[in-house]
Structure 1
Amino acid sequence: MTSTIAFEGKQPSAVDDKTQSLLLGRPHKHHGAMWLTATVVLVGVMLVTYSLVTNERYEWDVAFSWFTSERLFTGLLRTLGLTAISMVVGIVVGVLLALARLAPNAIVAGVAAFLIWFFRGVPVFVQLLFWGFIAAIYPRIEIGVPFGPEFFSVDANVLITPFVAAVLGLGLNEGAYMSEIVRAGLLSVNRGQTEAATALGMRRFAILTRVVLPQAMKVIVPPTGNQTISMLKTTSLVSVLAFPELLYSAQLVYSANFKTIPLLIAASMWYLVVTSILSLGQYFIERHYNRGTVTTRRTRQRATPRRSKSAIAAATTSSKEGQS
């Protein structure tokens, strides 16, 4: 079934029932399929919730008691510190590699591309193991003139502690990914703005910090927030180095009391809490950098022409009279 609607200043056009429903603000048909899907999803959620509540093997009382324990909270603080330091190292390394990758010097760009390829290609778990066993390759770390006098020397096991090995493994791996994020953000800025700043006599560092980076942040910030959340969860791999972060602290506890599932649940709850806080912070940071570029729902509604039911009915009647 179709009807003809004459908009102001325009020729009559055929409008079907679906379009009329959209113009009137009414949802189209297929309500049955939508309600059936919602019912299936709701039943699935209820079944999962019932299983979580009634299955005694989860031992929720034990999980909540360890959730507020000092040992897990201390491990959480170590996890947060490791996440923050590793992300700082990753961002610094990423910016340097991105600038080197975009450098006009072919050797510098080639070395940066090789480092990015290497650290992105080797799994982070393997990198952590290499840094943890670095003493097997370099028993002593020496600093001095190549083939000349030695200025400083230290035992590798003393210098590369489990914490340092964790920071190096996580930070360098993150730097490879951050370099691509930063490079994409820099390339998103129109080259004409750089040329205009150069014509005004600005130096390259000033152009980068005052012209390019402020605009590139809109592209850099969202994936950086995602990488921070991913880093928080990746720190759980550091347990292989026997560093007592959140997961390894939980492992030490359940290896003694054999409450494996409740301890894993308690650790998972802390990960969920911190991830939720980081996601909220990411939302506000993105909103700050996207000011003036995001069209709000209210603005879109104002821009969309809306026609009332009476207006469509009147237009339809007038079109029918014109045809007769």
Structure 2
Amino acid sequence: MSIDYILSILGPMLEGAQMTVLLFLVAIVISIPLGFLLMLAVRSSIKPLSWMAHTYIYVMRGTPLLLQLLFICFGLPMLPVVGEYLVFDRFVAACIGFILNYAAYFAEIFRGGVLAIDKGQYEAAQVLSMNKWQTTTRVILPQMFRIALPAVANESVTLVKDTALLYAVAVPELLHFAQTAVNRDFTIVPFLVAGIIYLIMTLLLTMFFKWLEQRFKFE
């Protein structure tokens, strides 16, 4: 394994890693708030809204992310009448797919966080004469986020690894450049380098969430 060879392939692979990081940031920043809104919809007393949210979560969690990406990239443009208006740039289509998919998972994580809160917390808020809004914002949500944080961290690490699916829809990310180098040079070294880059990204993300957990723990 030549250092010169590794340095020669590192530039393009880091360029691909930038696309990986960009997708991760877009997906995580939008899917977490969307997941929270979905959780509220699921728990809504408006039955049609709750049913639609339940159905959406079931469909998105029950079908493969790769299938969803392929459908958004290649299936939507084939729809009659409206298909011509649903042609997206590949990266934009991938972002939409990741956001819609991960929002469903985050919704379930948040729902689990709410269900884990002891009912005594609600009763204590009533004793303190808190209204529903105060109970939700001051008591329920802070505890929900604290409970859900480890699961959110785990799902976020999974998101980093799932960005490799961009390769299937022809978006030039990290794995694309690794595969190109392997096919060109007949060596597995690019795969090893890609693996190390993924490990570094997940390590940094894990350290960030560990810091968040420690901060919430002492608040």
Deviation at 1:220, TM superposition (A): 0.9
Q: Which amino acid aligns with 1:79?
A: T
Higher helix share: 2
- Distance, in Å, in 2 between the alignment partners of 1:60 and 1:216 is 50
C-alpha distance after superposition, 1:6-44 (max 9, x if no partner): xxxxxxxxxxxxxxxxxxxxxxxxxxxxxxxxxxxxxxx
Q: What is the correspondence of 1:253-292 to structure 2 with a 5 Å cutoff?
A: 253-255=181-183, 257-291=184-218
Structure with more of its chain in strand, by fraction: 1
Instruction: State the match for 2:163 in structure 1.
Output: 235
Pairing of 1:33-72 with structure 2 (within 5 A):
59=1, 61=3, 64-66=6-8, 69-72=10-13
Structure 1, gaps ≥5 residues long: 1-58, 142-153, 293-324
Between structure 1 and structure 2, the one with the greater Rg is 1
- Tell whether the 8 Å contact from 1:66 to 1:263 is kept in structure 2 after alignment: no
Q: CA RMSD in A?
A: 2.2
Q: How far, CA to CA, are the matches of 1:220 and 1:193 in structure 2?
A: 17
Provide, for residues 117-160 of structure 1, a one-character-per-residue CA deviation record: whole Å limited to 9, x for no partner.
1000000111110011121125646xxxxxxxxxxxx7432xx1
1:173 maps to what in 2? 101
Q: Which has the higher contact order (CA 8 A, sep 6+)?
A: 2
Distance 2:81 2:16 in 1: 30
Q: TM-score, normalized by length of structure 1?
A: 0.62
- In structure 1, C-alpha distance between the alignment counterparts of 2:130 and 2:210, rounded to whole Å: 37
Residue 74 and residue 109 in structure 1: after superposition, are their counterparts in 2 closer, same or farther (change >3 A)? same
Tell me: CA distance 1:209–1:116, structure 2 relative to 1, closer, same or farther (3 Å): same
Residues 234 and 139 (structure 1 numbering): CA distance in 2 closer, same or farther, change over 3 Å? farther
Indicate whether 1:247 and 2:189 are aligned: no
Alpha-carbon shift at residue 112 of structure 1 (Å): 0.9
TM-score between both structures, scaled by the size of structure 2:
0.89
2:18 to 77, 81, 91: 77
Structural mapping, 1:79-158, within 5 Å: 79-133=20-74, 134-137=76-79, 140=82, 155-157=85-87
- The residue type paired with residue 76 of structure 1 is A
Alpha-carbon distance between aligned partners in 2 of 1:287 and 1:240, rounded to the nearest angstrom: 38
- Letter in structure 1 aligned against 2:65: V
- Matched residue pairs, number? 217
Corresponding letter in the other structure for 2:150: P
